[in-house]
Amino acid sequence: MNELVAILLPRSDILVSAIDSVMQSGDAFCVIDTRYPKKQIERLLSTAEPTQIIDDPSLLRTRHAGGRKVENKDAYVVFTSGTTGEPKGVVHTLDSMQASAKATNQRMGVDPSNDHWICALPPSHVGGLSIITRSLLSGTRVSVIEGFDQDEIKKRQRDGANLIAVVTSALNKIEPKDYKVVLLGAQAPPSNLPDNFLVTYGMTETGSGVVYNDYPLPSVTVKEAEDGELLIDAPMLARSYRDGREVRGVDGFYRSGDVGSVAPDGRVSVVGRRSEMINSGGEKLFPTPIEQSIEAHPSVKEAAVFGYPDRRWGEAVAAAIVLVEGTRAPTQEELKELVSNDVAPWAYPRYIFFVDSIPRTPLGKIQRRALAESLIDKSQ
């Protein structure tokens, strides 16, 4: 059994040193975002159950009471985003970490002697953390910065940084041509992306992306269940959750929670989360295609779609819309025409809310549950 070391340090290069020191010792680590409120940090520590803590740039460890050691081959514990409930601790092994790093570096064509990563995503989640681990395992330079700070990005670029990972909401904060490769994940991508973009699909349990530009990595199998849920088998799958629950089902596959399809040539299409599906009068609707149609209106900056309780339909489509500053609000008829042409005549929003902002996770995912609860409470 090995120690599990919780790392509570600012998002900077010292975090890389801390992770490296734990990896070199043979112990496992868990990165916790120091920007969280004290109570949230306490909840995450309770979930992770670390035995030691690093919270000082000296990288000295202190004992954490009430912790629980991990298995010898465990590498790290990382938290899910918590969009559908409390964040879960996911346990990855040395094998899953190495498999993810190897497959991703090969797919991207990473050259450790010349390439240099910018890690602007939160290292407390797998999208940012995997940048650090794959860099350490391959000997590739990596720089950790606090979000997509323009000055920090330019500083790192002057130092040779040429790889970056982003979410859709951060696309306006980078200049794509400045990079050899841009990884884009976490949300439905816009169309007409530059050739140096790789759109990834994956989750905490898969150790980051396992599908790149719609096709699984060579070691990854994706198939459809009878109900349309995507099932994944891959060497980079996590061992278990921290509370002991299994990640794989009895058939050896991980149930992604996403509904989609797999074409005969292996191409993967993701429709949306099963938990976000709207059942309106028996019609099964997913938010993302509807959001994309609404966002085609010139007055709409961004939109979030969710199910709204409705006596006639059971659930009806509702949309929270952020307007482009200085524009007039679209009418329901305008949105109905857009959505009817793109998705289905019955998929248009019957309830529309104009809001100042849409709540998102640090990775840019829409927090639909929180949004829906807030707007439904206000309207009743």
pTM here?
A: 0.83
As a whole number, the mean pLDDT across the chain is 91
Residues in the chain: 380
Largest CA distance in the chain: 62
Q: Kindly state the percentage of the chain with pLDDT values over 70.
A: 97
Angle of helix 332-342 relative to helix 287-294, nearest 10 degrees, comes to: 120
Helices (H) and strands (E) in the chain, counts: 8, 23
pLDDT of residue 84: 60
**Mean pLDDT on 108-136:** 96
Residue by residue, DSSP assigns 316-329 as EEEEEEEEPTT-PP
Count the neighbouring beta carbons within 10 Å of the beta carbon of residue 241. Answer: 18
324 pLDDT more than 70: yes
200 contacts 184 by C-beta, under 8 angstroms: yes
33-66 pLDDT per residue, tens: 999 889 889 999 999 999 999 999 999 999 999 8
pLDDT of residue 361: 80
308 pLDDT more than 70: yes
Domain ranges of the chain: 4-270, 277-379
- Pick the range with the lowest mean pLDDT from 88-97, 131-140, 336-345: 336-345
pLDDT of residue 179: 96
- CATH no., domain 277-379: 3.30.300.30
**Mean pLDDT on 155-178:** 90
pLDDT of residue 188: 67
- Pick the range with the lowest mean pLDDT from 22-31, 93-102, 365-374: 365-374
**Of 3.40.50.12160, 3.40.190.10, 3.30.470.20, 3.40.50.12780, which CATH number belongs to 4-270?**
3.40.50.12780
Beta strands in 311-364 (DSSP E): 314-323, 351-354
**Mean pLDDT on 280-295:** 86
**Mean pLDDT on 87-114:** 96
301 contacts 168 by C-beta, under 8 angstroms: no
Give the three-class secondary structure for 201: strand
133-152 pLDDT per residue, tens: 999 999 999 999 998 988 99
Of the candidates 288, 304, 283, the one whose C-alpha atom is nearest the C-alpha of residue 346 is: 283
Greatest mean pLDDT range, 181-195, 224-238, 269-283? 224-238
Question: Tokens 């020191």 correspond to what residue?
Answer: 21
362 pLDDT more than 90: no
pLDDT of residue 83: 61
